[in-house]
Amino acid sequence: MSKYYNPHRTRNIYNPHSSEPFRLSRGKIDSFVKCARCFYMDRRLGVGQPPGYPFSLNSAVDLLLKKEFDIHRAAGTAHPLMKAYGLDAVPFAHAQIDEWRDAMRRGITYRIAGTSVVVTGGVDDVWKSPNGELIIVDYKATSKDGEVSLDADWQDGYKRQMEIYQWLFRQNGFKVSRTGYFVYCNGDTDARAFDGKLEFDIKLIPYDGDDSWVEGTILAAIECLKSDTLPASGVDCDYCAYRKAAGAVESLKVEDRDSLLEDVVKFIKDKDLISTALLQREFGIGYVRACRLLDKLEEAGLVSPSEGAKPRKVFIKENKTIKKLVN
């Protein structure tokens, strides 16, 4: 077990019978949106997904941007990026700005009435327009060819992140602009040499948020945590797909199973259909043993159920996760 991962966590677990405040972060709300089962296993059962390694360069960009905008916050002046994009705003000067930025320990918070749940979020920055509206700002860093945008499907999480922050500030009594901004820093790899520095093209991308989904989703997440029933997996959850696929393949390697099972799996992995007759011819076995092998493959979810004498459909080729495991 890695020192960075505890597979049986005992802290930060929701107890439906406790009145102690339970912090539900912006990131965990997004986890619920992606897969209710992984969310439940993490926050209710203490079995979370292994963490990724920290993006240190991205964190450095965030820190330097905050220092830069803080200079203008203290002076009450607009940052050059705002002027370049014709945005009439200044960094918001507030006594709690550092608290709101502290996602790990504090952040901006709001307690859901009638529950122990405290929703939290650590915002990158907040700006203020002349009419008093707050503008929620998020920093992003990458390095890619071409222009950065918010058009990719995987960036929907960025948009949900912005909308949750907007919702949190509104719940705290602030007047918040519907339009938030992403300060997107794109590392330039066209330079002739590194020379100990990496330059960025910085783009200000507006996004019109809609937080109408946030409260209902939070309430649904709380109901999920209160339940004693493990919820269904998310349709596109890679973690759940991996667990299912790995379990199916591992179940074929138990010592008391037919010794041919692994060879049969490798034989059928690129086929669309399989039959007892084909197994008999390929492996020189009898009809009864071929039937038993197909039944074991069905139990593992690798072939379709029997339909009399019809060949069975093979599911390995269409499932990339299973195919990698059996190669």
pLDDT in tens, 124-143: 999 999 999 999 999 999 88
d(CA 141, CA 60): 10
Q: What is the pLDDT of residue 79?
A: 95
Residue boundaries of the structural domains of the chain: 22-226, 238-326
Q: Helix, strand, coil: what percent of the chain each, to 5?
A: 40, 15, 45
Could you say which architecture CATH assigns to the domain 238-326? Orthogonal Bundle (1.10)
- The mean per-residue pLDDT over the stretch 253-260 comes to 62
Beta bridge partners of 22: 117
pLDDT classification of 324: cutoffs 50, 70, 90:
very low
d(CA 327, CA 319): 12
Q: At residue 312, does pLDDT exceed 70?
A: yes
Q: What is the pLDDT of residue 252?
A: 60
Work out the percent of the chain whose per-residue pLDDT is above 90.
54
Q: At residue 257, does pLDDT exceed 70?
A: no
pLDDT classification of 144: cutoffs 50, 70, 90:
confident
pLDDT classification of 254: cutoffs 50, 70, 90:
low
Average pLDDT of the chain to the nearest whole number = 88
- Closest C-alpha to 204, from 125, 273, 95, 312: 125
- Closest C-alpha to 135, from 206, 189, 226: 206
Which tens digit of pLDDT belongs to each residue from 268-311?
888 889 999 999 999 999 888 888 888 888 887 888 998 888 89
The reported pTM is: 0.78
Q: At residue 36, does pLDDT exceed 90?
A: yes
Q: At residue 147, does pLDDT exceed 60?
A: yes
Indicate the fold that domain 22-226 takes in CATH: Lambda Exonuclease; Chain A (3.90.320)
